[in-house]
Amino acid sequence: MIPFLICITVILFFVTIIFIILNARKNKQINNLKENIENFIEGGEKAEYSTADSNFARLQNAVAELENLLLLEKSNSASQAKSNADFVADISHQLKTPLAGLRLYCEMEQSSTPTPYTEKELQLIAKMESLIFNLLRLEKIKSDAYTMDFTKHSLDEIIGEIIGNFKPLFPEKNFIVYGTADLRCDKEWIAEAIGNIIKNACEHTEANGSIVVSVSESENSVDLVIEDNGGGVPKEQLPLLFNRFYRADNAAPESAGIGLAISKAIFEKHHATVTAENSKDGLKITACFPIINANIKL
């Protein structure tokens, strides 16, 4: 009986050792795959294909294939964006010369024989020039034509500076800022993106309207929420707000429908997602910035 128990104990011991070794090997494979995924997210380094015949090898090959597809899609998107930017640049170049000539003739007419229409003509030319400039900038942002300097900044301080610039323009508005968070961003570009949204909120609220800006930071993201009490927009228009040239029914007459599209493009260059929804009293726009160096939990 005793030799039998000893034999069983030895067998169980070796089975336990084998299980521990296999489990350690599996954990090592999981950690290696996790590290490969993190390297791909941070620097675009692809995972290697495995020639082994196992379920884990098939998982690793699926990850590698997915990374290849993502890189291909990124390359195709960049190529399309560059093509769009080149097209817009060509059109802009063709329009600038006749517009400059038209402005010159209008200014000459205004100085010599002004008419009730001359000033309006100059205003329309200025609007067209601004539209061409902003459209070209939008396409350049999408095609990575601009170099952005990503460093850590206090997001609430950036918002404070933006609001400080808007207060003289909208003295009766109530600006409220909640929260604090640090964000790795290009300060000038992110300030323009946020400023476009705040300006839009100012233009779509009553004289004494309120604009509330909230920032918060979690383990994996920094969230920015800009909310006004202007009554919001029809539900069917919400998905269209960030489209270029889209103007809401209550948009200002001088609006060209480019500002929010530029904001979205800038946010996306910061890897953020942006959404719009109606709140109780107005429009609520949320931008979520992922913290790229957050740990991936398995």
CATH number of the domain that residue 229 is part of: 3.30.565.10
pLDDT in tens, 144-164: 778 888 899 999 999 999 999
How much is the pLDDT for 256? 63
What's the full length of the chain, in residues? Answer: 298
pLDDT in tens, 186-221: 999 999 999 999 999 998 888 888 999 999 998 889
For CA atoms 242, 244, 248, 250, the dihedral sign is positive
Q: Whole-prediction pTM value?
A: 0.67
Contact in structure between 132 and 96 (CB atoms under 8 Å): yes
For 48, counting Cβ atoms within 10 Å of its Cβ (0-12 exposed, 13-18 middle, 19+ buried), the class is exposed
| Closest alpha carbon to 223 in 295, 276, 155, 153 | 155
Contact in structure between 225 and 189 (CB atoms under 8 Å): no
Counted domains in the chain:
1
Measured CA to CA, the distance from residue 208 to residue 56 in angstroms comes to 61
DSSP output for 104-123 = HHHHHHHHHS--TTHHHHHH
The torsion angle over the Cα atoms of residues 29, 31, 33 and 37, rounded to 10 degrees, is: 180
Q: Is residue 246 part of a domain?
A: yes
For 131, counting Cβ atoms within 10 Å of its Cβ (0-12 exposed, 13-18 middle, 19+ buried), the class is middle
Question: 270 lies in which domain range?
Answer: 151-290
Q: Is residue 40 part of a domain?
A: no
Residue 25 pLDDT class (50, 70, 90 cuts): low
Q: Is residue 282 part of a domain?
A: yes
